[in-house]
Amino acid sequence: MSNPLLNVEVLPEPELEFATGQQIEHPAKGLGLFGPVDSSGIEKPNRISYAVIGSPDGIAGFGAFAARLNSPIDPPPERSEILWPHYPGFEEAMHAVFPKSAPLSESLDPKKIAATANQGDDHKRVFEVTGLYLGAIQALSRKDTAIDMTICVVPEIVYTNCRPLSKVSQGTGKRLSSKEVKLRRQTTDLFGGYDSQQYDFSLDFRRQIKARAMECKMPIQIVRESTLNLSDEKPPWGQRVLTPLSDRAWNLSTALYYKSGRKPWKLPGARDGVCYVGIAFKRTDENGRTACSAAQMFLDDGDGIVFLGDYGPWYSPDSKQCHLSRAAAQKLLAGVLKTYEEQHGKTLREVFLHCRSTIDDEEWRGFQEACPKGVKLVGIRVAQDRRGLKAYRAGTRPVVRGTFWKISPRAAYLWASGFKPALRVYDGWDVPEPLRIEIQHGEADIRQVAIDIFGLTKLNYNACKLGESQPVTVHFSDAVGEILVANQGAKHFLPNFKYYV
């Protein structure tokens, strides 16, 4: 009997490609040394145009932060520069000019924000706070100055009171029961006491504003006022603890660069014609079977596309999983492939489906029918094994990121979180959880599948990190599903991934 431990190896940390084809593991180092992959050279910097919305203090705070982005920032002396890289300044890193003052801004009354965010009705509170920012976005869209994106600076009261589990105990109005909410969804108040439309949107400000702002075709970057603190000193007890200023500068810079329609980095050595499609589900009724599907397509070069599928009785209380009908599966994959063709016009050769749940035979037949002839299709389950396998190594360090354990020709474990040799640290809290990877349909080499998934952990442009614990195909599935499904009152959904993150 063979020893299963002989099938364990550590995959090398995937490298990223930057300007002039240069490659390196860490995005911050790559940008600092070479610049973004789509750079036209530091001698010919692009100019990013943006607008800022917020209270007067929020707008001023972002202005001060923008000025700081235009100069180098060192990590605190007591922090390791290996973990917290030096920030060289926006133009040096991104080969683009980020103006210290926003070309456009819209000021919101802080008293009105506070009063609106203190209403007892959860739906009304989030809907009306979102409406304040949406009104400003609409005003900006009517102006002649072209902007690449809008930065929404939100005070802490919005973050505290405008999330799904937020409760306001001493505000105005009352909190509604689920029965009252359901009734108001189905009826119109003839006396103008409430707007039934507000009950068709997410209770999360971040996800609601992203959905509603798509009608203006405006990418949004949401920034909490507290994030703009320019000090690295430890805050008083009870206040938010932040990462070093240099780290926040890196994260915000890469996000802003991506939201402006540019690309910071990509995976090198991309196999031409290969794409990865993440299948996502979101239940629309927590007590029933109705759910909606969505698909997220990604290429090795970082391009992302989102497509909304059908609503239906996809959820099974017995298996606690969602499964599409054959027709719905065909429509979902055909829709995302058509959207890709319209956006890029390139020929595909291989399509890899990534799904957290299993892919049953009925779904698979539908996916096969959507796939053009001659295109290879592979169905893979990719899910974090939260309650199962744990791995440890001798000494005090956790398992190494990239540890790959092949348990059969069609199944393996991959630790995308863990000790990072390049950083000489494990930057997590708990025992690292592996991804369980299973080839459920089609034919592929399990090691190559794991290598591809490992690379996809590095395509999160919302953060300038060495890598995430999940590939981008499944990492954002909950957030994308919430934006698409929980905002049924939204009139426009755009396919580009930058609108969803």
pLDDT digits (tens, 9 = 90+) for 298-333: 987 777 899 989 889 999 988 889 999 999 999 999
Q: Which two tokens stand for residue 86?
A: 């030096």
- CA-CA distances (angstroms) from residue 496 to 140, 213, 301? 21, 13, 14
How many whole angstroms separate alpha carbon 229 and alpha carbon 463? 18
Residue 232 and residue 176 share a domain: yes
pLDDT digits (tens, 9 = 90+) for 418-462: 999 989 888 888 889 999 999 999 999 999 999 999 999 999 999
Residue 221 and residue 121 share a domain: yes
Contact between residue 351 and residue 376 where contact means Cβ atoms under 8 Å apart: yes
Residue 336 and residue 230 share a domain: no
Q: Which domain holds residue 392?
A: 274-499
Residue 491 and residue 426 share a domain: yes
Residue 298 and residue 248 share a domain: no
Please report the pLDDT score of residue 183 as a whole number.
67
Residue 331 and residue 375 share a domain: yes
Residue 494 and residue 349 share a domain: yes
Q: Which of 262, 282, 313 delimits the end of a domain?
A: 262
Residue 371: closest CA among 303, 305, 448, 441: 441
- Is residue 192, in this structure, part of any structural domain at all? yes
- Is residue 34, in this structure, part of any structural domain at all? no
Identify the CATH number of the domain in which residue 87 sits: 3.40.50.2300
- Is residue 268, in this structure, part of any structural domain at all? no
Residue 257 and residue 185 share a domain: yes
3-state DSSP of 126-139: HHHHHHHHHHHHHH
Residue 352 and residue 327 share a domain: yes
CA atoms within 13 A on the CB side of 302: 22
- Is residue 29, in this structure, part of any structural domain at all? no
Contact between residue 415 and residue 400 where contact means Cβ atoms under 8 Å apart: yes
Residue 493 and residue 471 share a domain: yes
Residue 176 and residue 132 share a domain: yes
Residue 182 and residue 294 share a domain: no
- Is residue 84, in this structure, part of any structural domain at all? yes
Residue 100: closest CA among 90, 92, 85: 90
227: Cα separation from own chain's centroid: 18
Q: Which of 230, 262, 294 delimits the end of a domain?
A: 262
How many whole angstroms separate alpha carbon 199 and alpha carbon 185? 6
Please report the pLDDT score of residue 190 as a whole number.
47
pLDDT digits (tens, 9 = 90+) for 131-182: 999 999 999 999 999 999 999 999 999 999 999 989 887 777 767 666 666 6
Contact between residue 494 and residue 480 where contact means Cβ atoms under 8 Å apart: no
- Count of structural domains within the chain: 2
Can you give the pTM of this predicted structure? 0.93
- Is residue 19, in this structure, part of any structural domain at all? no
| Residue 241: how many other CB atoms lie within 10 Å | 6
